[in-house]
Amino acid sequence: MSALDDGIRVNVWSPDGGTPAGLYRFDQPAELLDSFDEVDAAALARYQRDGFLAFRQAFSAAETRAALRGLMACVAGKKKGFDLNVEAGVSDWDKVRDPRARLRRVRKLNAFIDADERLKHLAEHPKLLALLAALMGEPPAMYSNQALLKPPLIGSEKPWHQDMAYFNVPADCHVVGCWIALDEATAENGCMHVIPGSHRDGPVPHHRIRDWQLCDNQIPVAHDQMVLLPPGGALIFSGLLWHGTPPNHSPQTRRALQFHYYPASVARISAEQRLAVWGAEGLGVEC
């Protein structure tokens, strides 16, 4: 299915096949800081070492609830002008109108930030932009924005990967991702998993396996840390960090936002230049 539904382009998200057993571990939670106000020189040094910082309360409860309402307005079809992916196997999207029923089918929204001020507010939050500028050494520009949803029971895996494999910027430019939990992100519902320090290995070629991803047998699973976050919590991470999310086999929905930023002075490159570094199998593949 690829159809225009009320001004929203709808496609099917189709990672191929099941997740191999043992690819994630579920007993090592990453350490959390309380809020962006806690970032000091030691935290910045930790980001350089580990490639990420995670925050229990990056955004207030009111900001998080408002963003969730904005996202649900998009899912309900009240907002227009973005791309939406439904889970593999969903073929009745255009017939479903009830927002809760739609939520059980959606996997991803792309380039939706201009559709709702409440979502844009988080993406342009002064404390977030200040942290990004401190990490990059210059003002950030937004590269991409997405909402990543894992519906109960069927929410699919995003296999281990490095985000910069998908972005048309030089591989030595410092891309930073911000992944925001709108629901509690748990071991059961497909929270983020990271390999601390993996960003220091630089770009690693990606392959078409279940998705465009790192090879499963390359993943040092022993080092996997889960990023367990309450609503309003956020993971700030290097575009080179190895990360992934296992499937959601729980009865809970997992809704998250993901924004990516790059240094405002950096010129974008072509897809061909990017794939010369990351592997030609990524042609036409989106994050």
Considering only residues 31 to 90 of the shown chain, the ones binding ligand AKG according to CB under 6 A are: none
Is 243 a residue that touches ligand AKG (CB under 6 A)? yes
Minimum CB–partner distance for residue 95 and ligand AKG (Å): 26
Is 255 a residue that touches ligand AKG (CB under 6 A)? no
Q: Which two three-digit tokens encode residue 219? A: 């993943």
Minimum CB–partner distance for residue 190 and ligand AKG (Å): 6
Minimum CB–partner distance for residue 214 and ligand AKG (Å): 12
Is 158 a residue that touches ligand AKG (CB under 6 A)? yes
Minimum CB–partner distance for residue 146 and ligand AKG (Å): 6
Minimum CB–partner distance for residue 68 and ligand AKG (Å): 15
Is 162 a residue that touches ligand AKG (CB under 6 A)? no
Single residue of 256, 263, 275, 278 touching ligand AKG by CB under 6 A = 256
Single residue of 85, 145, 245, 253 touching ligand AKG by CB under 6 A = 245
Residues lying near ligand AKG in the complex (CB under 6 A) are found at 148, 150, 158, 163, 190, 243, 245, 256, 258, 287
